[in-house]
Amino acid sequence: MKIAFLFYEGMTALDAVGPHEILCRIPGAEVYRVARKAGAIQTDSGLVLTADLSIEEVPEVDILLVPGAGNAATLRQYPEVLEWIRKIHEKTKWTTSVCTGSLILGAAGVLAGVKATTHWATFDRLKDWKATPVKERVVEDGKLITAAGVSAGIDMALVLAAKVEGKLFAQAIQLAIEYDPAPPFDVGSPEKANPMVRAALLSRMSARFERI
């Protein structure tokens, strides 16, 4: 099972690292950390990750995972990466994204007519790519699996692990990483959040979003 994580400058680390912790444990998994060019990748939190391979070195995989970024990047400044996603998607068993990574899939042209989700602050932007927005933590449509904001990538990876290796395996992984969320505040969705907090956060985030 060949699994590729697309890395790029400014990406959100947890979007990739969370699912990586789960998917790398699938028996027989060959995990590739791929970028436009191999080397160090600066994430939006300052954490530096390493891409072992360039996109030219990875022509085909079974699973593709595209993380999001704090600036809701679509990577349109790198058409060669979008073209790579399109070609990889043709032969994947599953093409997946976390958070605003779905906007990258949209820019690559693989979301048209597909149900998908993304971070709540960019939810309506899915329509720009002719996708059908669905307000769920993990959304499946054929071989496309998209996750909502950041932490939802862990949920998505567990769903995917169950598809690949069975529910008992996925349950064992969930127990092994002690994924049993009990957040100190029940404000993890815009519907639950304090309206003042939500408005202030959306204002700050929107200032960083590129326009379609």
pLDDT of residue 210: 67
Assess contact for 31 and 19: CB atoms under 8 A: no
Mean pLDDT of the chain: 94
pLDDT of residue 30: 98
Backbone angles phi, psi at 145, to 5 degrees: -130, 120
> 50 Cβ partners below 8 Å, 6+ apart?
33, 39, 40, 41
Instruction: Write down the pTM of the prediction.
Output: 0.94
In this predicted structure, the answer to whether residue 63 has a pLDDT above a threshold of 60 is: yes
How many residues in total does the chain contain?
A: 212
Query: Which listed residue (6, 99, 108, 111) is catalytic?
Result: 99
Which residue type sits at 81?
V
For helices 167-176 and 152-165, angle between their N-to-C axes, nearest 10 degrees: 140
Domains and CATH numbers, the chain: 2-182 (3.40.50.880)
Backbone angles phi, psi at 71, to 5 degrees: -100, 15
Q: Which of 4, 29, 9 is nearest to 96 (CA)?
A: 4
Q: Is 99 part of the annotated catalytic residue set?
A: yes
- 120-173: per-residue pLDDT in tens? 999 999 999 999 999 999 999 999 999 999 999 999 999 999 999 999 999 999
Distance (Å, rounded) from C-alpha 211 to C-alpha 53?
Answer: 30
